[in-house]
Amino acid sequence: MQTFFQYHSEQDPFRLFSIEHIITIAIIFVFCLFLFFLRRKLEKQGIRRVLRFFLLFLLLVFDVSHHIWLASENAWTLKDDLPLHLSDLAVLLAIVMLLTKSLGLFQFLFFAGLGSSIQAILTPDLGRFSFPHFQYVEFFISHGGVVLTCLFMVLAYQYRPTLRSLWMTVLIVNIYGVCVFFLNKWLGANYLYIMNKPKNASLLDFLGPWPWYLLSVEVIMIISFFLLYSPFWLKKKLEGS
């Protein structure tokens, strides 16, 4: 148990696309499929309410536990542990969305939250925390929970992203990025990986040196948002014809 929570872990470091990582991705994917196949059941208000509060509880407990764990290990710092990475902020916004059922918040989270969480799941910056360390478990439950939450709102409440909300999200993320840049300068931090690339392998490794990879990230972000929107666009086209 001590090894499970030990901050200075003696486990092997996280390896991208290791067997454990692939199995974890597969489990999240299976839960998404399970939610999709149960979409008719989600029309019942009782089941919908239970699942909504279960997701809310799951995200809240693991997010709070993560910060308590860091504080108990004397490892929490302003420089590294504020929820300012887009995928970390998405966890907090997903909790608020589940509480309020806000359509406006969904419109933002569907693109920024879903896109950043999928990227985090595929190329996590976990360093020395490999399975079954608490940090590993918390990371994938939190980010996988955001993916499930967005899918849940689509299936249970028939919330839909729009083309307008896509471009509004692009604008908001860029304004947010500028604010985080100045906060990084003040704290000597690297939130959003604006100042330099993460130490572990990530998509940014293929996008050139700083600051040029920031332009590439902008293009990739817009493309990924359109990919997320494409099933709804295609559905509209098919219904129109």
- Give the whole-angstrom CA distance, residue 200 versus residue 128: 10
* Average pLDDT of every residue of the chain: 92
- The pLDDT of residue 202: 66
- The pLDDT of residue 213: 86
- The pLDDT of residue 208: 78
Cis peptide leading into residue 211 (ω within 30°): yes
Say if residue 46 is exposed, middle or buried (CB neighbours under 10 Å; 0-12, 13-18, 19+). exposed
- Give the whole-angstrom CA distance, residue 196 versus residue 227: 27
The ranges of the chain with pLDDT < 70 are 1-2, 200-203, 241
pLDDT in tens, 199-213: 765 667 777 787 888
What pTM was estimated for this model as a whole?
Answer: 0.94
Q: Report phi then psi at 227, rounded to 5.
A: -65, -40
φ/ψ bin of 23: left (φ > 0), alpha (ψ from -120 to 50), beta (otherwise): alpha
